[in-house]
Chains A and B, each alone.
Chain A
């Protein structure tokens, strides 16, 4: 379970948000929504301590991740898989090696075991045959899937997705959404999805957090969201051309 308590973050004199509190129970998916620049990705980077808050805490199964020593933090980070907005694949190595990368450094697996695990993960994201391609040869959708395969290769407890469907065509977006649902339901992974794609939110999330006006403006289940009379939330949903 991930608990965020009274988080506040500023960059210099610019306040990003204040007093953000939310909880993501085990195996559930939270969507963090809001306009561009409202600090969704910044919030995500606090969950695995890539950024440090000015105030507040992030509890991972009751343990404040921002109070850990660097060695302990690195161990906790291995419980997370992260899909970055541009996939953040290492461009000096092949798609296969990107997925194998964490296995080579953090496990004692032999080469044939690594190969099997990587191919299994690539198969899971429907990319069984592209493993040896260079990352520059991959399309946007393929890059996201390789990123996803890399994120799950160490069997994480938590998955963080930063705009998983941005820049993708509707069909590929649906495929990525299906993968997120698959990981959540079948692997019992707790997920946080940063997005402004309301189609995705309604498809994959159990709850949603709406960041607006430098605070957590609305937070609740998807069912509650569909019935909410929160003006700015409704306006955001309408603007995304989605009729609930």
Chain B
């Protein structure tokens, strides 16, 4: 029963956000600030996750493809495809559920329990368009950017690891990457990142906005926001793979 109540309130919050979207021009500073916090500030961790994922994938694929019948360029193809189609979006999504989702839920939760959201409403602000809408839209805009950063550094990391360990020469790696490259894979990855961005920001806004019970309540809201975001990222990943591939 609680699940349905939660889902109803979540939909209601999103509906309010959409209905008040015309007010975004009044609060564009919030939108810009959220884009910086969500996008620019998350770049280091996303790049780090991308480089290491690509490097490990390259080394492990080389380790598994030991047959002389399989050309080394296959490693480049596997690493590039895996990164672009799956890992860049999912790994960065899971990392950002912790980084962005936890921040949003904590910020809004603290504002809720310290009556700052009540203060906004009592001044005549629409707290949903002021707090929720800029955060969700910033997720829409910045997650694809972060995906591109994760994907390109992931492929770069794979290439570098292959070269440094001497298992895949750069020319072979790039040959494989180019041979199997499809533009649709990038579109698929970007679509996933947009969906993941929406999942993380909207769930975290919902959990933070309706937090209650002081510091413990904020902690609970933050944990729930992160865990739920991760679960729904994995579910959405499967659903998108079934629908779009």
**Is A80 engaged at the interface, CB distance under 8 Å to the other chain?**
yes
Report whether A74 and B118 are in contact in the complex, using a CB–CB cutoff of 8 Å. no
Residues from chain B with Cβ under 8 Å of A184 in the complex:
none
Residues from chain B with Cβ under 8 Å of A154 in the complex:
123
Report whether B125 and A105 are in contact in the complex, using a CB–CB cutoff of 8 Å. yes
Interface members, chain B 122-171 (any A CB < 8 Å): 122-126
* Distance in Å: Cβ of A42 to nearest Cβ of chain B: 12
* Distance in Å: Cβ of A136 to nearest Cβ of chain B: 12
- Secondary structure at the B interface, as helix, strand, loop or mixed, is helix
Tell me the complex Cα distance, A71–B68, Å: 72
Report whether A85 and B123 are in contact in the complex, using a CB–CB cutoff of 8 Å. no
Interface size range on B against A: 10 to 19
* Distance in Å: Cβ of B116 to nearest Cβ of chain A: 5
Partner of B115, one of A74, A78, A84, A160: A84
Tell me the complex Cα distance, A233–B119, Å: 31
Tell me the complex Cα distance, A45–B123, Å: 13
Partner of B119, one of A70, A75, A88: A88
Residues from chain A with Cβ under 8 Å of B114 in the complex:
86, 88, 91
* Distance in Å: Cβ of A11 to nearest Cβ of chain B: 11
* Distance in Å: Cβ of A242 to nearest Cβ of chain B: 28
**Is B64 engaged at the interface, CB distance under 8 Å to the other chain?**
no
Report whether B121 and A77 are in contact in the complex, using a CB–CB cutoff of 8 Å. yes
Residues from chain A with Cβ under 8 Å of B67 in the complex:
none
Residues from chain B with Cβ under 8 Å of A50 in the complex:
118, 121-122
Tell me the complex Cα distance, A70–B123, Å: 13
Report whether B115 and A75 are in contact in the complex, using a CB–CB cutoff of 8 Å. no
List 29 A–B pairs whose Cβ atoms lie within 8 Å, in order of A's numbering: A45-B118, A48-B122, A70-B126, A74-B124, A74-B126, A75-B124, A77-B121, A77-B122, A78-B123, A78-B124, A80-B122, A82-B118, A82-B119, A84-B119, A85-B115, A86-B114, A86-B115, A88-B116, A88-B118, A88-B119, A89-B116, A90-B116, A90-B119, A91-B110, A91-B116, A105-B26, A106-B123, A106-B124, A154-B123
Residues of A within 8 A of B (CB): 45, 48, 50, 70, 74-75, 77-78, 80, 82, 84-86, 88-91, 101-102, 105-106, 154, 160
